[in-house]
Amino acid sequence: MKIIQSPQEMQEISAGLRISKNTIGFVPTMGALHQGHLSLIQKCRKENDTAVVSIFVNPIQFGPSEDYQKYPRSLPQDKKLLESVSADFLFVPEANEMFPFGYQTKITVESLSAPLCGKFRPGHFQGVATIVMKLFHIVIPTRAYFGEKDYQQFRIIKQMAADLNLPVEILPCPTAREPDGLAVSSRNQYLSALERKHAPLVYQSLLEGGKLVEKKEKKPEVIRTAVIKKLQESSLISIEYVEIVHPETLVPVREIDETVLLALAVRIGKTRLIDNLMIQPAS
Ligand code: PAF
């Protein structure tokens, strides 16, 4: 695996590969790699001639009171993991190369950035869209892979690619889960032993909602109430939102008569966790 720090060098390598008709698969990450990332990279590896992974803890997607400084960083371990899944290139730029003094251009994907996590993390999705756009210009991928745990992020990037005619295919990958159902996330390592014991309730609450839809419950409020009730079994969990939205528009649905996204964000102690479930009503 070749490690590249310079955006210009990465861009030159990628441009050369594309000219010689290589397909480039790309997995953008913030490091602290886990099984979720590895499954994205394995899919990327299989479907493309060249697999590029980036690691960049993007300062502009963190709010002033969020965890940018303490976000887990584990480059030596990440490199080993990337070797084990045969990534070809690791792109690890420095913050001052990506956002030099005087930087001022941002990308906003308007409506899709407003609901769900957007309400609680102002500016977050603008930071994500901006860095992903920059990375796309540097890595020039044929295909880019995003985890469904961050469904809103995936949807926003897909919209950005369509709106701006980007020649890249945006592909979703299923959420990796621990054996007890907890969605794998770099932030899980912030949980104390006790908080970790309570964390599986997050996925269990989604399944509870899913069961009701399967039983033909059509009222979103009934599902929300059941999910909230399940989450309230833990005194350590505080709920940020539980929403049932249309998977394309992310607008709350009035009635469940087609596939919906049940999405939530909670805090367990100081750790913010998100998860979601795509639910199809029984026919
Ligand atoms: O999902 C992430 O890890 C980040 O939001 C991403 C897509 C790498 C952009 O910084």
Catalytic site includes residue 37: yes
DSSP tally for the chain: helices H, then strands E? 11, 9
- Taking CA atoms only, the protein residue closest to ligand 1 atom 6 is 29
Mean pLDDT (whole number) for 48-69: 97
The answer to whether residues 167 and 95 belong to one domain is yes
* Token pair listed for 272: 């913010």
Task: Find the CATH number of the domain harbouring 208.
Answer: 3.30.1300.10
- Do the Cβ atoms of 244 and 205 come closer than 8 Å? no
Instruction: Quote the tokens at residue 277.
Output: 């479930």
Q: Do the domain assignments include residue 282? A: no
The answer to whether residues 246 and 116 belong to one domain is no
Closest residue by CA, ligand 1 atom 9: 128
In three-state secondary structure terms, 252 is: strand
Note whether residue 90 is domain-resident. Answer: yes
For residues 131 and 91, membership in a common domain is answered with: yes
Lining residues, ligand 1, CB within 6 Å: 28-30, 58, 61, 128, 131-132, 150, 153
Residue whose pair of structure tokens reads 């985890």 in the numeric block = 147
Residue ranges making up the domain that contains 257: 186-277
CA of 226 to the centre of ligand 1 (A): 31
Q: For residue 113, how far is the Cα from the chain centroid?
A: 13
| Ligand 1: centre distance to CA 129 (Å) | 9
- The mean predicted confidence, pLDDT, of the chain is 98
Residue of the CA atom closest to atom 3 of ligand 1: 29
| Strand order, beta sheet including 271-279 | 237-245, 260-268, 271-279
163 and 264: one domain? no
pLDDT greater than 90 at residue 283: no
Residues 146 and 194 both lie in one domain: no
Distance 273 CA to ligand 1 centre (A): 15
Do 8 and 135 belong together in one domain? Answer: yes
Question: Which atom, in ligand 1's list, is nearest to the CA of 128?
Answer: 9
- DSSP letters along 135-188, please? HHHHH--SEEEEEGGGHHHHHHHHHHHHHTT-S-EEEEEPPPB-TTSPBP-GGG
- What's the CATH code of the domain at 38? 3.40.50.620
In a domain, 158, yes or no: yes
Order the strands of the 2-4 sheet from edge to edge: 2-4, 89-91, 50-55, 24-29, 143-147, 169-173
pLDDT band of 51, cuts 50, 70, 90: very high
Domain's final residue, options 173, 196, 214:
173
Domain co-membership, 40 together with 80: yes
- Give the tens place of pLDDT for each residue, 77-99: 999 999 999 999 999 999 999 99
Res 255 pLDDT > 80? yes
Together in a domain, 82 and 158: yes
Q: How far is the CA of 192 from the centre of ligand 1 (A)?
A: 24
pLDDT at residue 256 in the model: 96
148, 173, 198 - which closes a domain: 173
Residue type, 70: K
Stretch 20-26: mean pLDDT = 98
Residue 181 exposed, middle or buried by CB count within 10 Å (0-12, 13-18, 19+):
middle
Give, in degrees to the nearest 5, the angle at Cα 252 between 169 and 109: 40
Co-location of 166 and 209 in the same domain: no
Same domain (yes/no): 35, 147: yes
Domains identified in the chain, total number: 2
pLDDT at 186: 95
Q: How far is CA 280 from CA 175, 208, 243, in A?
A: 17, 14, 15
Domain boundary pick from 145, 173, 201: 173
**Mean pLDDT score, 248-272:** 97
Q: What percent of the chain has pLDDT over 70?
A: 100
**pLDDT > 90: what percent of the chain?**
99
- Could you give the CA distance from residue 14 to residue 138 in angstroms, rounded to a whole number? 8
pLDDT band for position 282 (50/70/90)?
confident
Q: Given a cut of 80, is residue 16 above it in pLDDT?
A: yes
- Which residue among 55, 58, 134, 146 has the greatest number of ligand 1 atoms within 8 angstroms of its CB, and so is best to mutate? 58
181 within a domain of the structure (yes/no): no
The tens digit of pLDDT for each residue in 172-209 reads 999 999 999 999 999 999 999 999 999 999 999 999 99
| Annotated catalytic residue within 34, 37, 124, 198 | 37
Specify if 234 maps to a domain.
yes
Other Cβ atoms closer than 10 A to 243: 21
CB 130 within 8 A of CB 166: no
Same domain, 190 and 148: no
